[in-house]
Chains A and B, each alone.
Chain A
């Protein structure tokens, strides 16, 4: 067992455990903090995959923005939601069973693939070529259209979010 594998195992365990705590915490704040830990674990996994750019982006976007947003929302919607009552719905065992079976199915299907156990080796240094990635994003023969559409999507989300959340002085009390 190489060092990388040990690192992976530890990080994977931490990530999964945090994920479980995210969905199992009673207190919402704790759930958000566990989420941050999970996202951090995922970033490290990205790093082990030699996708360093995305690891940084993960930290920046997810942890830096999204998690903050979530915490803000938690703070804004605290009033009624008591942390003493259970946070899961009554029939939670059924989704649990479903999740387990689904996991088994996915794993089983994947296991029948011949390249399942392929060893991922170290990539040459120029494998992750950010310049090439960047120019591909704006290349008309490349991925400029998804890029632009994504920009528009962000704009729409921005406008939409403001519109939804703005308080209308006339309508509300």
Chain B
């Protein structure tokens, strides 16, 4: 079959798995996970075939694999939907297929498949463990299987469908459809354990916050459609005439050109979906969901979709920009917000103690990196970092899930009532969980940008170079500081968790996870190490030029202009080395001998630490300024005033009128006239009957008299009228 047909088929197996699981196999846990695994495996296979074909095709960016069908008739033309695989979507498809498959496999082990069901486990709550008798007859607490096992696989299958759809499509409308379905799945999966109030609040927060972004994105989409009559990528982004026209026309808002306005609106969608400041608040709370969810949705794929969107629309956002010239307004906005967010989130991550929260803020920070990269025009660098980040962040999250499982095992074993996710309760886990340790270390080093052997180094270095050579010093310094902090908190995390001595009994009794959980970690760490080597820049000292910068060539061909002349400066390289190694060393030094369960930075930093720990009180600010007024409007104004008083009042009045009318009709018309007529007819009949009855006396002579008189009467009548002929 052709590439195009295969591309159409990529999103379908997970969708099919979703329906089958929901409708038929919900009760059978093994069948459900096999359906999901086979589906994601099929999508992975198709994705790999397509990727292979894509990278071996010359000139893919001019002639992408594309096909579209008319879908909605709109007047003379039709709205078309279709597929398009060009270099950008090919690399995104690559990492999406791999991470989705790995996370699906991981979920089997994470939800404790094969374990007994716990006696007190209820749907909607995380499993609490089961009691079994070991070989000596002693009662042992072991982890129990998740009660809503099949539901999980159904939901992540639906999510996989949406992500694949978003990646293979060729127009903004279908992308938006996939975007929204992912939002739905994110909502359902964050609140997977819906009996927990914290999970319920988090799911609503996530959905509503991203919704704010989505509304603006929809406005941008509508504006784009009304101005150009299409939403197809090739027709808008591949067409310089259209881009020039949009860049030239002025919109009524703030003197921006239409291209800029639409670009900013679409970017606001990304701000929501990729958790940039000020709509970042949902991502840390989204850690309420199970760890595979955090890995997939909030690290590797969904939040990446936001960045993918702006990378895709870079031609529109940068319409009118010449490399080396003044950046356009959307690029400026992206640069500012991206750089700010990167630094902002990194500072918060330093003061977090929950292992997943650190990673959440780290994700926000890294996404800020990518957006800042686009803001300075480093197109290929942003795409590169997107790919490498997906691998190592998914690895880190899955690793954290393995850590938490190990800690929970220890908690069940010892019966200690501690938070298994708090890093201050951990320590020395590298002896108990070696595979998790090494893979997590690789991921953490990649995140920090450890030189040469990790993918993160290459992609981060590219971004810093791009910022530096573009002359955007503010962005450069902010990103460098953020890189320093990133390395610091990563080392902090690794040291607290794995190195040193266990700080609690539960940590002493932790043990390694099953192969279904560690195998994906190993596979992802291979990518975390090797993916970076596809993008070694040509002017790198020593290694540069040995391996061609395939990534830059492949993805960079998407842009229709020549990249700026590379300034051969070693400053960015040097900076990234210093911040990476320095941060790592600093983190290790501060935390390595920690024996109490208290952060040693707490006292020295004092109130700064408190502010960082409380995330700069942004949530509280939103609560006071946005949420409480909204609640007031909903409750007092709309509900009490409009709904109950006015609308219900009208209804009650109509009801009363109806009753009055009904009663009136009954009393005036129905009872006297209708009933009266009926009663009169009956009474008359009865009267006549009684009268006639009295005539039937039973006396024969009377009957005969009547007969004779009638005969006589008839005779008289005949005699006097007819006569005798």
Contacts and interface: CB of A to CB of B under 8 A. Distances in A.
A and B touch in the complex (CB under 8 A): yes
Interface of A: 89, 91, 94-95, 98, 101-102, 105, 108-109, 112
What 9 A-B pairs have minimum CB-CB distances, sorted nearest first? A105-B715, A112-B724, A101-B712, A98-B708, A102-B712, A98-B709, A98-B712, A95-B705, A94-B705
Interface string B711-724: 11001100100001
A96 to B, nearest CB: 11
Nearest to B723: A112
Contact of A109 (B701, B709, B712, B719): B719
Contact of B709 (A89, A94, A105, A112): A94
Contacts of B701: 89
B708 A109 contact: no
B700 to A, nearest CB: 11
The secondary-structure label for the interface of chain B is: helix
Contacts of B715: 102, 105, 109
B716 A105 contact: yes
Contacts of B705: 91, 94-95, 98
A91 B711 CA distance: 19
Q: How large is the interface on B (under 10, 10 to 19, 20 to 34, 35 or more residues)?
A: 10 to 19
B711 to A, nearest CB: 8
Nearest to B707: A98
A101 B705 CA distance: 13
B631 to A, nearest CB: 97
A58 B76 CA distance: 118
A90 to B, nearest CB: 11
A173 B716 CA distance: 52
Contacts of A105: 712, 715-716, 719
B656 to A, nearest CB: 66
Contacts of B724: 109, 112
Nearest to B701: A89
Given A89-B701, A112-B724, A102 B719 contact: no
Nearest to A89: B701
Contacts of B719: 105, 108-109
A112 B715 CA distance: 14
B171 to A, nearest CB: 108
12 contacts: A91-B705, A94-B705, A95-B708, A98-B708, A98-B712, A102-B712, A105-B715, A105-B716, A108-B719, A109-B715, A109-B724, A112-B724
Contacts of A95: 705, 708
Contacts of B716: 101, 105
A33 B460 CA distance: 153
Given A94-B709, A105-B715, 7 more contacts: A91-B705, A94-B705, A102-B708, A102-B715, A105-B719, A108-B719, A109-B719
Contacts of A101: 712, 716
B291 to A, nearest CB: 106
Nearest to B713: A101
Nearest to A108: B719
B487 to A, nearest CB: 129
A151 to B, nearest CB: 30
B268 to A, nearest CB: 112
B717 to A, nearest CB: 11
Interface in B117-139: none
A97 to B, nearest CB: 9
B712 to A, nearest CB: 5
B706 to A, nearest CB: 10
Interface in B672-725: 701, 705, 708-709, 711-712, 715-716, 719, 724
Contacts of A108: 719
B710 to A, nearest CB: 10
B18 to A, nearest CB: 94
A27 B607 CA distance: 143
A109 B708 CA distance: 17
A136 B715 CA distance: 37
Contacts of B709: 94, 98
A71 B151 CA distance: 113
Contacts of A98: 705, 708-709, 712
A116 to B, nearest CB: 12
Nearest to A99: B708
A108 B719 CA distance: 9
A76 to B, nearest CB: 22
A98 B716 CA distance: 12
A147 B611 CA distance: 139
B593 to A, nearest CB: 130
A8 B711 CA distance: 31
A108 B716 CA distance: 10
Contacts of A109: 715, 719, 724
Nearest to A94: B705
Interface string B238-254: 00000000000000000
A108 B701 CA distance: 26
A91 B709 CA distance: 14
Contacts of A94: 705, 709
A102 B709 CA distance: 9
A38 B724 CA distance: 33
A74 B141 CA distance: 121
Contacts of B711: 102
Contacts of A112: 724
